[in-house]
Amino acid sequence: MLDDLPSTLICLVDCNPCGGWGEEDALALLEHLLVFFNAFLLLHSANQLQLLAVHPREVSCVWPEDGAPPALAPHQLRQLFLKRFRTLLATPPPSASAASALSGGLSLALCRLARQQRADATRQLRVLVVQATADSAAQHLAGMNCVFGAQKLGVTIDALVAARNDSLLLQQAAHLTDGFYLRLGEQEKLALSQYLLTCCLPDQQTRKLLCPPAQGSLETKALCTISKRPVDIGHACSVCLAVFAEDQLPLRECPVCGSRFIQQAAQAPKKRPKKAAAAAAPAVTS
Amino acid sequence: MAASLLEYLRGLSPIALSRLYSDPHTCQAVLRALPPLSRQYLLRLVGAHGRLAAEIVGAWPLPTAAAALEHKAALEQLVALRLVELDPVGREYALHAGLCEQIGSSICLARGAQAAEARLAADEARPSVVQLERHAQRTWEDVLQCVLTPPRRLLPLAGCGGKSTLQQLLLSLRLLEATGAEGAEGAEGVEGAAARWASTRAARRFVLLPIQEQVWRLMLEYMELTDTVQPGARDATLSFLMRLGSHAVGSDCSVHSLTELQRQVLSDLLLFGIAYQREESSPRFYATPLAHALLSGSAGLATSRRSEGFLILETNFKLYAHTSSPLWAQVIRSFARVEYVLPNLVVSSISREAIRDAVESGIEWDMIVQFLERNAHPLMAANVPVLPETVVNQVSLWAQESSRMQLADAQFYDKFESIELFDDVVQYAKDDGVYLWHKRDQQHVGHSALIVAAHGHQRMKAFLKSKK
């Protein structure tokens, strides 16, 4: 028999006004999420939900608010969420191309989860990321570090991506932490609450017993630290494991950690070449 | 007796269950009491508007033996509670329509049940969860005190329309027994009432049980009792309990939204410590952690541990209880020898006599061990194992001492006239299969003795007579 353990879920919702969706889309998606949140809170009396809104300017906590009562009826939650999201969507970003502070949001979520784990080690910890904009290459390294942190903490990351293209970071995040990744097409957007109830609602221990949903092909390419392009074959720094594309060589020192590379011959770079075939990349980066 | 809410519900009739499932709070409480996998299945079915083909449901678990086992158990639980029905052909699972609607509306934000609840003004003096837990603990200790030393004054229960009392409830739980007549002829009134009750052997066992189990047993009996006095009170009590359990601990509920019957039940729950009300006239009441413990499944009962343990057991069999409550001193006295009682400390030692007395009075030794473990002081609870192994082993040995021996009747013969006669008789007893023991003394034949099983006495007597 399974133990009846409470869970904590932190949901990160991308509120970038320049996102791939309009306000209407975003609010429709929020309705689906609310169904999921209510079901999550219904599951266990000690289940906890936190909602973080990710905006290019800031990561703000929507729920629980400071000073608000600890429990609210579902329709009150809904009003609160809608109000906060409308204001955030109306806040202009610093520049039109600014990306949401996803890695910042992830690290805030992990900090909060780590604190919960210290207080109660049996609690099951999860993160649900809803991303509306394309990946930001500048945040890739920080994001991957968060993912490894999550993996170590035992936090499962589920990801929903509403952008047109797949997210490299979130695919790898879901893969490494045994979570699920879904890119929302038109059809998926309509039946999103169904998907959430079926796939994202089970906690870690029930997931071990249930068939996982079908996952698309996994993109596990590493990103070149300098050019921010995905690379098939690259070189890795032996100290910090940053990855460099072939055409960036030779390098005198690692641009990430500053380790000096010994230049032996003029032509042969010191770093060991890395085979970054689909399966090998996470092994190298981890 | 049903050990948990789910078991109790399994025993109810389909009509009674249908009535229960039409209440949103009950649906929520039932959902939370289910095992984790059943909960997921239930919500998946709700997501599919209540109907799914059996093939789809069958494809849910991973193809491993453990998953298949859990899957089967989860579905069985749902079917036994009549939450889910498999159609006669076995093609489709259908969720109970009323429950599907209630759960569906509570997750899909229909402004039904929750919005209708009367709103209260902001609560300035909200009690904290810790305060509520302390209150529940204290109140429940008072109830236990009533079990051990029945009070002189009768405590009427409002849920029974004042026709029944707490003493009667405990009596039907067989925790109290009526002792003799209505008191002596001249000693009517207060003194007379006191003489009417005494705690039973079962009561001593009862106080050692986990608190959740105690509350659950009491509530089961309470529901039966109220139902005999006021038909329909059982359903009202049950749905009220569910409603309490569905509120977060520490959030307030309005008294005005209750029916008359529920208000009566509330005043009894206040007495048991399941609910808390600041003053009798206060418009709001709170659910205590006991209400939640009551509704959690059996898994919840097993893992729960009292947050404030007070017992320290040392390897030298000394037991220190950091408590000022006379109840716990009394409970400890039932299995240990109390050496001295200080204002906030009871020092006692576990001895062979004390354990033997406890076993004789109907307490099992593992109940004692579990009680000690459950109430372990945080300092001791950090140890692995929690209790010193030597003490636990010794307690079990002492407890089993009385059951290691079996008594059987036997017959003793001595003062034989000659050693030859003695040898013959011993041989006969051995051939007859009734021989147990003998002592042969050639010098003093009179000191030789033989013991045989009692049922062989008649034949032995005949044999001895024939030898004379």
To the nearest whole Å, the CA of B235 is away from the closest chain A CA by 23
Peptide bond into A64 cis (omega under 30): yes
Between A111-120, A195-204, A276-285, the lowest mean confidence (pLDDT) is in A276-285
Q: Is B395 exposed, middle or buried (0-12, 13-18, 19+ CB in 10 A)?
A: buried
Structure tokens at A136: 């930001």
Residue A230 scores a pLDDT above 70 = yes
- The answer on pLDDT for B245 being more than 80 is no
> What distances in angstroms separate CA B67 from CA A1, A122, A156, A211, one per listed residue?
11, 22, 20, 10
- At B195, the pLDDT band (50, 70, 90 cuts) reads low
The shortest CB-CB distance from B36 to any of A31, A198, A206 is to: A206
- Quick check: B248 and A42 CB within 8 A? no
Q: Examine the pLDDT at A280 and tell me if it is beyond 50.
A: no
pLDDT at residue B205 in the model = 87
Instruction: Spell out the residues 6+ positions from residue A235 whose beta carbon is closer than 8 angstroms to its own.
Output: A243, A244, A246, A249, A269, A271, A272, A273, A274
Would you list which residues of chain B are within 8 Å, Cβ to Cβ, of chain A? 28, 31-32, 35-37, 39-40, 43-44, 46-48, 59-62, 64, 66-67, 70-71, 73, 103, 106-109, 111, 114-115, 117, 245-248, 250-251, 292, 296-297, 299-300, 303
Q: How far is A223 from chain B (nearest CA, A)?
A: 34
Distance CA B245, CA A105 (A): 34
Residue B119's pLDDT is 55
Q: Which of B43, B100, B129, B304 to mutate to test the interface with A (most CBs of A within 10 A)?
A: B43
The mean pLDDT value for B106-133 works out to 65
> In the prediction, which pLDDT does B186 show?
38
Cβ neighbours for B365, distance < 8 A, ≥ 6 positions apart: B355, B358, B359, B395, B396, B398, B399, B400
**Opening angle at CA A194, ends A190 and A196, nearest 5:** 105
Residue in chain A lying closest to B38 (CA): A206
Q: Which pLDDT belongs to residue A12?
A: 93
Whether the Cβ atoms of residue B169 and residue B225 lie closer than 8 Å to each other:
yes
**Candidate from A2, A45, A73 with C-beta closest to B37:** A2
Mean pLDDT of A60-82: 72
Nearest-neighbour CA in chain A from B174: distance (Å): 33
User: How many helices, marked H, and strands, marked E, lie in chain A?
Assistant: 9, 11
Q: Work out the pLDDT band at B307, boundaries 50, 70, 90.
A: low
DSSP line for A264-277: -SSSS-SSPEE---
**Band of pLDDT at residue A70, cut at 50, 70 and 90:** low
DSSP string, B304-356: ---SS--EEE-TTSEEEE----HHHHHHHHTTSEEEEEETTEEEEE--HHHHH
The pLDDT tens digits for B418-439 are: 888 899 999 999 998 899 999 9
pLDDT over threshold 60, residue A123? yes
The answer to whether residue A264 scores a pLDDT higher than 80 is no
Q: Measured between CB atoms, which of B248, B292, B297 is closest to A70?
A: B248
Alpha helices in B108-181 (DSSP H): 113-116, 129-148, 166-172
C-alpha–C-alpha distance, residues B311 and B314, integer Å: 10
Of B47, B60, B246, the CB nearest to A211: B60
Q: Which of B46, B62, B109 faces A210 most closely, judged by CB atoms?
A: B62
pLDDT of residue B391: 93
Q: Is B46 exposed, middle or buried (0-12, 13-18, 19+ CB in 10 A)?
A: buried
- Set of chain A residues whose Cβ sits within 8 Å of the Cβ of B116: none
Q: Cβ A2–B35 below 8 Å, yes or no?
A: yes
Q: Name the 3-class secondary structure at B283.
A: coil
Q: Write a three-state SS string for A18-84.
A: CCCCCHHHHHHHHHHHHHHHHHHHHHCCCCEEEEEEECCCCEEEEECCCCCCCCCCHHHHHHHHHHH
* DSSP states of B173-222: TTSEEE-SSSS-SS--THHHHHTTEEE-HHHHHHTTS-HHHHHHHHHHHH
- Residue B292: pLDDT over 60: yes
More confident residue, A64 or B454: B454
> pLDDT averaged over chain A?
82
Question: What percentage of chain A has pLDDT greater than the value 70?
Answer: 87
Q: What pLDDT does residue A147 have?
A: 94
Average pLDDT score over residue span B113-131 = 64
Predicted confidence band at B184 (pLDDT cuts at 50, 70, 90)? very low
What pLDDT, on the 0 to 100 scale, is given for residue B69? 92
pLDDT for res B293? 77
Give me the pLDDT at residue A124, please: 93
CB contacts of A27 in chain B (<8 Å) are none
Check CB contact under 8 Å for A201 and B32. no
Average pLDDT, chain B: 83
Q: Do A209 and B248 touch (CB under 8 A)?
A: no
pLDDT, mean of residues B95-116: 72
Segment among B101-105, B195-199, B333-337, B457-461 with least mean pLDDT:
B195-199
At A153, give phi and psi (nearest 5°).
-75, -15
pLDDT computed for residue A153 by the predictor: 93
Enumerate the residues of chain A whose CB falls inside 8 A of the CB of residue B111: 75
Name the residue of chain B whose CA is nearest to A38's CA.
B107
Distance from CA of B253 to the nearest CA of A (A): 12
| pLDDT tens digit sequence for B14-58 | 888 888 888 888 888 888 888 899 999 999 999 888 889 999 999
* pLDDT for the residue A46: 80
Q: Is the pLDDT of residue B300 over 60?
A: no
Please tell me the distance from the alpha carbon of residue B227 to that of residue B265, in angstroms, as a whole number.
12
User: What local confidence, expressed as pLDDT, does residue B112 receive?
Assistant: 42
**Predicted confidence band of residue A1 (pLDDT cuts 50, 70, 90):** low
Q: Does residue A57 surpass a pLDDT of 50?
A: yes
What local confidence, expressed as pLDDT, does residue B120 receive? 60
**Res. B306: pLDDT tops 80:** no
pLDDT at A277: 41
Kindly determine whether residue A35 and residue B107, on different chains, have CB atoms separated by under 8 Å.
yes
Amino acid (one-letter) located at B30: V
Helical pair A23-43 and A74-90, crossing angle rounded to 10 deg? 150
Give the residue-averaged pLDDT of A74-101: 79
| Interchain proximity B251–A44, CB inside 8 Å | no
Q: What is the pLDDT of residue A201?
A: 93
The pLDDT value given to residue B296? 66
Burial of A2 (0-12, 13-18, 19+ CB in 10 A): middle
Residue A283 has pLDDT above 50, yes or no: no
pLDDT in tens, A187-220: 888 888 888 999 999 999 999 999 988 877 777 7
User: What per-residue confidence (pLDDT) applies to B302?
Assistant: 38
- For residue A227, the SS3 value is coil
Question: What pLDDT is attached to residue A110?
Answer: 95
Q: In terms of DSSP bridges, do strands B337-342 and B318-321 run parallel, antiparallel, or are they unpaired?
A: unpaired
Residue B111 in this model has a pLDDT that exceeds 70: no
Q: Yes or no: say if A225 and A243 are a contact pair by the CB < 8 Å rule.
A: yes
Give backbone dihedrals phi and psi of A176, rounded to 5 degrees, phi first. Answer: -75, -25
Return the minimum-mean-pLDDT range out of A123-127, B60-64, B308-312: B308-312
pLDDT in tens, B126-171: 788 788 888 888 888 888 888 888 877 777 777 776 677 888 888 8
Taken as a whole, chain A contains a residue count of 286
Q: With cut-offs at 50, 70 and 90, classify the pLDDT of residue A275.
A: very low
